[in-house]
Chain A
Amino acid sequence: MLSPERLALPDYEYLAQRHVLTYMEDAVCQLLENREDISQYGIARFFTEYFNSVCQGTHILFREFSFIQATPHNRASFLRAFWRCFRTVGKNGDLLTMREYHCLLQLLCPDFPLELTQKAARIVLMDDAMDCLMSFSDFLFAFQIQFYYSEFLDNVAVIYQDLLSGKNPNTVIVPTSSSGQHYQRPALGEAGMLEGVEASLFYQCLENLCDRHKYSCPPPALVKEILSNVQKLTFYGFLVALSKHHGINQALGALPDKGDLMHDPAMDEELDRLLAQVPGLVNATSEASCLPSRTSSRVGSPWRPLHHSRKVDTESDGSTEETDESET
């Protein structure tokens, strides 16, 4: 309530911009959906739980895609949920195809569109090798960029296209995501791969875009950092750089660093416990205990506050305990 933007906007717009309205609407919607059940344990309790889960990022589990992509927080929550649930798949060392990753995504979000997965895969793979296998981390980071900055990237594609063809991109009316994709692919395949565009000019356009863009964008400083290293670059070169950039991942705050991607001690503990319950199991626990236990005090909480990615958080400790209780 005290942030400076608060005063710059009328209340309603402010709430809308901060997606508070989205959550309020959704909460009411959920209430409506399950009113018999919820009325039994109290509407106040429901709202508490709802907003708690929003804070923890667990509200997106098994929700419809339209809701999952509705807010940056939801997107980040989804990314994090995906990482937490399927970290073990990556840890197992399996290389999977795009379609298989898509299936995993669909386990969390039944109507997750194939298109997004395909786009993410295209960042990792060449155009003609879409059936190839990808490692979990490659896919995850590419997917993060594609999913979180989806609209931004669509616009970047248009700008890139215009730069390639020599048009002044600033005159372009920024299209919405759906219209942007259609003419993106073919031309990129031909010329884009070979030469790319001038990095500095590209940056100017992107900066311009970030300014007017109402969706989330990567921090301009980091974009600048990426683009300042090279003279020319291609669209996919840019995307790859984005996906691999440590700072952007941190800024996004949904996933740990690449090096720590496989570490989630709390969940590992949980997994050990689950493995011990597998019927007729003998030596699973001993095997599981061989896993490298991190000395790091970072706790795999359902949600770490964004932008404080590397801090130990006492609150999250509490929440972990809570989940433990409910599970065991």
Chain B
Amino acid sequence: MIPGKYRSVSGRAANNVNCGLHLVIQTSTLPEKNKTEFRFSRDTSPFPGRLLQHDLERNYSSRQGDGRVISPSPRNKSSFISSTTNVTELYGLDMKTTTSSFSAFGDCSIQTPFKSRLRQGCHSAGPNVSGDHINLVSSSLPSFPILQRSSEEKSLYSDRLTLERQKLTVCPIIDGEEHLRLLNFQHNFITRIQNISNLQSLIFLDLYDNQIEEISGLSTLRSLRVLLLGKNRIKKISNLENLKNLDVLDLHGNQITKIENVNHLCDLRVLNLARNFLSHVDNLHGLDSLTELNLRHNQITFVRDVDNLPCLQRLFLSFNNISSFDSVSCLADSTSLSDITFDGNPLAQESWYKHTVLQNMTQLRQLDMKRVTEEERRVASVVAKKEEEKKRESQKQSLLKEKKRLTINNVARNWDLQQRVSNNAINADRKDCASPPRDSCQLDGSTTSSLPAETGSLDSGLTSALQGLSVTDTHLVEIEGDTLSLYGSGALECLDRNWSLQTAGMVTTISFTFIEFDEIVQVFPKLKIKFPNSLHLKFKETNLVMLQQFNALAQLRRVDQLTVDPQGNPVVNFTLWKYYVLFRLSHFSMQKINGTEVTQNDMIMAERLFGILAHVASSELPQYRMISILGDARRKQFRYLLETKGKKPGIASEENNDSKRVMGENTNRATLNYTTKEWHNEKLEEIKEKKKFCQMYVEDLVKEATDINMKNEALQKLWPQMFIELVRDAVIEIRNKNTYMKVCLQQITDQK
């Protein structure tokens, strides 16, 4: 940029020799490069794996605890060296043990206090290097400084050049250093990578903390293995096409939004993209050697393609925006991953976080810098097993539910069909009806529309202990919590089954759907015995059409709540139905009808509307009828009533009242009962027979009686005349006294 400035910098650098840079401006090449090796042998280095860490954060933390990871100092930002690799592997440089060089290089990367010392070290390492040897010449290209080193420098550090903190704004032209293998431009103001295309044997290029906006000028550096571009202004990963040997790529602290153009880097082992603007991780295929991927401090919400990295061992996703394990689910498919961090993500706050991760990534050895213990693994697997079971259970349930839905559909269809048939029959019966019942079509519409709603409600009840008990095609029996649901008339047969005492005792709600009410009535006695605690009855699509059908409910033990769905129960359309129910079932003192609290006013209204009916039914019904209407159970008691009534009417009436109160149900209501149509018809049939007989019998009797009467009348009519005739004959006979006496005497003598 401005050469003057640069010059002054270099000038200062020349004055202050402790800058740690060895700028040798020399054309002579010394073959002693072997001597000036930076060498990190395994035995000499106290940190064998931690070699070229300019801004390491990860390796320390992974090795020595997480203190530095969680609060990384500005210098500790990037890490790019695998802890297990040693230099030889990394660089393939031949190495010699030179303690000074080690300290000069190795230490400098670690921490500030060391840094200063390192400079000292550098200085002392090259004692014969003086400021005089540094010479920046701006001859050939006016804008770029030309750098040359002294021959001593060169011979000492023949393949290494460090231009750290030189306030460089451009890359100087480095002449005569074609064999340079390591080049360091840390902490400068370089905006563009230039003038290094001639350094074709360069292996290590450090441009940390500059102002580079674009990766460029590297296309000739085919042997480059380490490229450090941390803390720059790079927006895009590009122009790396020729760097096929790249081993370490550090791009931390840039402005990259997307991972791209890296798929050819099949030898890349370390990729650092910490502190960028990545929103997701994708497009990682081809990075076949990648063992470490640092993605800390981005805005990543999901991770993909990680399972395409066969060698990936460490993945750092701390401080991102991952909120569910699903969005990183590909991690579970990676077999090589052994170390992962998720801290600082919403995900890590979840209670299930640890065991979910551990369960899904069994190969993991470290999670969030902590060793995964056996105990943790065990807990995770237990939890996971539980979850698995839950999942299986829910699957089973959903299967069951689906089956149930289908069955209900089927039952509904059958019911529909049945209803239509019966409706048609009715219509056929009443061709003269001006208003044929339109229920059939209404029914169709409502039935189909009702079904989705029904299944929806069932879904919500997933958590409750759903226990499908029997599913067949034509009916469905189900116990869900305290509700026994019966669909289809076949379901009524379940009441014959042996229910466990506990199950039966638990059931307080019984719901009937798609069953003829008349059929339900027949199982009430069984219901009473099998489910003694049932308090709430629900009817839906049960053909409740008449008020008198509610009479049948009176025989149950107890009903607290009644729900009659308007669907398929036309009776609900009547304004009086509720009051009739209240009236007829008053002995239950019901609490709710169709979900509405029963108020006292309702009770009064019910009594007001139907009280007289009950009164008439009880007080005016002839006794012989009363007996026949009341069931056997009541007969005994009624007989007792009769007896007392016969003796002392006054007292009896009081007793009558008392006993009535003692009884659960009012006697006056007991006469209002419901007989199903079939039963009624049967009875009528029976009566017909009797009637026939009675008719004949009475006819005979009456005929006989009238016959006798006629004869009697005839006799009555004849009798006076006969009498007169008799008298007349007698009178005529005794008219002549003498002859008559003679005849009499004659008779007497004859007798003798």
Residues of A near any B CB (own CB < 8 A): 10-12, 15, 21, 24-26, 28-34, 37-38, 40-41, 46, 49-50, 52-53, 56, 58-59, 61-62, 64, 66, 81, 84-89, 92, 94, 96-97, 99-100, 103-104, 106-107, 110-111, 115, 118, 122, 127-128, 130-131, 181-182, 184-185, 189, 267, 270-271, 274-275, 278-282, 284, 287-288, 302, 323-328
Contacts and interface: CB of A to CB of B under 8 A. Distances in A.
Nearest to A15: B702
A41 B694 contact: no
A53 B589 CA distance: 34
A275 B691 contact: no
B27 to A, nearest CB: 115
A21 B97 CA distance: 139
Interface in B411-435: 430-435
Interface string B578-590: 0000000010010
Nearest to B695: A25
B694 A38 contact: no
A71 to B, nearest CB: 15
Given A29-B694, A61-B617, A37 B709 contact: no
A88 B635 contact: no
A103 B604 contact: no
B615 interface: yes
A274 B604 CA distance: 10
Residue of A33, A40, A127, A280 with highest tally of chain B CB at under 10 A: A33
Helix, strand, loop or mixed for chain A's interface?
Answer: helix
B703 A12 contact: yes
Interface string B416-458: 0000000000000011111100000000000000000000000
B723 interface: no
Contacts of A89: 576, 609
Contacts of A328: 653, 657
B600 A87 contact: no
B702 A50 contact: no
A86 to B, nearest CB: 7
Given A61-B616, A104-B547, A181 B432 contact: yes
A15 B704 CA distance: 13
B653 A111 contact: no
Contacts of A31: 624
Nearest to A56: B620
A144 B699 CA distance: 32
Contacts of B481: none
Contacts of A189: 434
Nearest to A63: B625
A271 B432 contact: no
Given A12-B706, A88-B612, A181-B432, A50 B698 contact: no
Contact of B574 (A34, A66, A85, A100): A100
A25 B699 CA distance: 8
Contacts of B705: 11
Interface in B620-664: 620-625, 627-629, 635, 639, 642, 645-646, 649, 653, 656-657
Nearest to A302: B620
Nearest to A57: B620
29 contacts: A11-B706, A25-B694, A28-B694, A29-B691, A29-B694, A30-B625, A34-B628, A50-B622, A56-B620, A58-B622, A88-B610, A89-B576, A92-B605, A96-B574, A99-B574, A104-B547, A104-B576, A106-B547, A110-B675, A184-B432, A270-B612, A271-B615, A278-B604, A280-B603, A281-B600, A281-B604, A323-B620, A326-B618, A326-B619
Contacts of A41: 623, 642, 646
A275 B484 CA distance: 36
Given A274-B611, A275-B604, A84 B616 contact: yes
Contact of A92 (B545, B609, B690): B609
B607 interface: yes
A127 B435 CA distance: 8
B706 A46 contact: no
Contacts of A24: 698, 702
A131 B435 contact: yes
B618 A327 contact: yes
B615 A103 contact: no
A236 to B, nearest CB: 12
Contact of B687 (A64, A100, A280, A323): A64
A25 B698 contact: yes
Contacts of A96: 574-576
A26 B620 CA distance: 18
Given A62-B629, A275-B607, A34 B624 contact: yes
Given A25-B691, A270-B615, A287-B604, 8 more contacts: A32-B694, A37-B624, A88-B612, A97-B573, A103-B545, A103-B548, A274-B612, A275-B608
A34 B629 CA distance: 10
Contacts of B719: none
Contact of B690 (A33, A40, A185, A278): A33
A112 B122 CA distance: 118
B600 A34 contact: no
A86 B604 CA distance: 16
A30 B624 CA distance: 8
A275 B653 contact: no
B161 to A, nearest CB: 103
Contacts of B433: 118
B510 interface: no
B30 interface: no
B548 A281 contact: no
A223 to B, nearest CB: 26
B611 A88 contact: yes
B604 A61 contact: no
